[in-house]
Amino acid sequence: MLTTREELDDRLPGAARAWLDEALAEAAHAADRPDTGTGTPDRPDTGNPPSGTGTGNPPWETRFASAGRHCGTEHADAVRALLLIEARPAAPDLARLYAQGTAAERRAVLLTLHRLDLGSAALTLVEDALRTNDTRLVAAAVGPYAAAHLDAHGWRHAILKCLFTEVPVEAVAALADRARGDAELARMLHDFAAERTAAGRPVPADLRTVLALTATPAAAPTEES
């Protein structure tokens, strides 16, 4: 769970609090002037170009990139999340910010998606993260936004990605609800376990955890009186 603004105020030194106040004010100003965004294709590239913002991008994006330097790396995720929530970037601008960012910046974007009221417009960012083997990004990608917007096929493969990269399945939001009674997921898990066994590799304990969830019957629909 990300640190709240009140918790940050208690933990940050005075200079960092002042910096954060200015950063959030810049983000709020950008939200009030949505025409300041530069626009971009809504699918990020898969490279990792240097972090930073180009000419014409709003000042809060520079703050987003330098959050760790000013507020400490332990608070960077929370600070970046607050900036995103305040700025309310459109999906194309968020995709650009993600594509330009470091792994830490991309992680913060992924952790905040469910709080940005984007509908399914940011699914490409989740899909991009799930194509990587960066466990920080994979864990962030399977949060509440993925639980709400990934279709069944994509969600099942996200579970396999967690098992393959050894991301604990406790990172998966709504795991029990979505896995319940999922016979196709159970089949995929059995196949994955068989492949690991044939290759002489251990079967992750988390696989058994998820498999047990699939055996739980789906809730029967209630009859309306």
Burial 131-148 (b: 16+ CB within 10 A, else e): ebebeebbbbbbbebbbe
Q: What is the chain's pLDDT, residue by residue, as a tens digit (225 residues)?
A: 788 999 999 999 999 999 999 999 999 999 887 654 444 333 344 444 334 444 468 999 999 999 999 999 999 999 999 999 999 999 999 999 999 999 999 999 999 999 999 999 999 999 999 999 999 999 999 999 999 999 999 999 999 999 999 999 999 999 999 999 999 999 999 999 999 999 999 999 999 999 999 997 766 555 553
* Tokens, residue 41: 């294709």
Radius of gyration of the chain (CA): 20
Q: Distance of alpha carbon 105 from its chain centroid, rounded?
A: 11
- Whether 126 and 145 have beta carbons less than 8 Å apart is answered as yes
Distance CA 142, CA 161 (A): 10
Residue 218, pLDDT score: 63
Distance CA 171, CA 184 (A): 21
Distance CA 178, CA 14 (A): 44
Q: Distances in Å between the alpha carbon of 14 and those of 5, 25, 83, 180?
A: 14, 17, 18, 48
Distance CA 224, CA 220 (A): 12
Residue 42, pLDDT score: 38
Residue 217, pLDDT score: 77
Distance CA 68, CA 34 (A): 26
Residue 223, pLDDT score: 55
Instruction: Look up the pTM and report it.
Output: 0.86
Residue 33, pLDDT score: 73
Give the helix ranges, DSSP H, for 66-150.
Answer: 67-71, 76-87, 91-100, 103-112, 123-130, 135-141, 144-149
